[in-house]
Amino acid sequence: MTSSPMPGPTVAEPVAPGARAPADSGLQSGRLIAPQAGGAPGVPMIAIDNVNKWYGDFQVLTNCSTAIVKGEVVVVCGPSGSGKSTLIKCVNALEPFQKGQITVDGTKVMDKATNLPKLRSRVGMVFQHFELFPHLSITENLTLAQRKVLRRPAEEAKKRGLDLLARVGLSAHASKYPGQLSGGQQQRVAIARALAMDPIVMLFDEPTSALDPEMVGEVLDVMVELARDGMTMMVVTHEMGFARKVADRVIFMDRGEIVEDATKDDFFGKPRSERAQQFLSKILQH
């Protein structure tokens, strides 16, 4: 869009005397995703092969290689400026890279023949700052991309969006605008919006770092449920409790390099590098 959207309401609607405000009832029963289909046997859902990236003369990623198989949950952690967010944004070409290759379900991300909008419709992305359209209602936020990108009929898109909204416990807020929700609620809407596109993988770029501490748990609960449902996930986060609970592997980055790529038990129990040991001693000391 070239024009700036007009903002919607930013304060909660008044509640009539004697009436109760809709409750935020938490996760509802049922699966957040349908069982995933596709994925050729032996082909990683995400393959990162010797990826290098520069900003001018500054190299921000150096020889990064890893692979994530279907249903795997991989947490990417490391100090600020280590290249975590840059790497995850390279997976669906939100950040271009100059050397190496990334494939998603066998599709080469930087191939000139690749239809990037189509690829991105299959790769759900949740950002730090929600990225909801402030001038659209929650229901409209959930249905817009379904209708425009997937060409779903309006009623089908609405049903899919409202079903996911119910699963993340926010049915009572369907007609509200993003500014009327808390940060944690907005992030849960953002996750539901990504899931409405039926992605084959989900990427999370520090999804809780902009939230008040009291709101972090409600977002992590949704992510834990996603992991249990079998969603392939790559998660940039400092939430080490989440990593210990649901991650299959942990990737530790420093200065643009993948320093460690280990199972969570090995990473937390016996990190190989001194840099990872220092990082863990600081982040786990409280």
Q: Which two tokens stand for residue 234?
A: 């790559």
How many domains does the chain contain in total?
1
198 in a structural domain: yes
Q: pLDDT tens digit string along 100-159?
A: 999 999 999 999 999 999 899 899 999 998 899 999 999 999 999 999 999 999 999 999
pLDDT for residue 176 is more than 80: yes
Mean pLDDT of the chain: 87
Domain residues for the domain of 270 are 46-284
Q: What's the CA gap between 31 and 228, in Å, rounded?
A: 9
5 in a structural domain: no
What pLDDT score does 284 carry?
74
119 in a structural domain: yes
What pLDDT score does 226 carry?
93
pLDDT for residue 36 is more than 80: no
101 in a structural domain: yes
Counting residues of the chain whose pLDDT is more than 90, the rounded percentage is: 75
pLDDT for residue 56 is more than 60: yes
Q: pLDDT tens digit string along 185-197?
A: 999 999 999 999 9
CATH code of the domain covering residue 276: 3.40.50.300
15 in a structural domain: no
Q: Which two tokens stand for residue 122?
A: 């299959």
3-state class of 249 per DSSP? Answer: strand
What pLDDT score does 16 carry?
37
pLDDT for residue 17 is more than 80: no
Name 64's bridge partners: 51
Residue 28: band (very low, low, confident or very high) from pLDDT cuts 50, 70, 90: low
34 in a structural domain: no
249 in a structural domain: yes
Close Cβ partners of 18 (under 8 Å, ≥ 6 residues apart): none
Nearest to 124 by CA among 76, 92, 169: 92
What pLDDT score does 136 carry?
97
31 in a structural domain: no
What is the pTM assigned to this prediction? 0.86
What pLDDT score does 35 carry?
55
What pLDDT score does 285 carry?
65
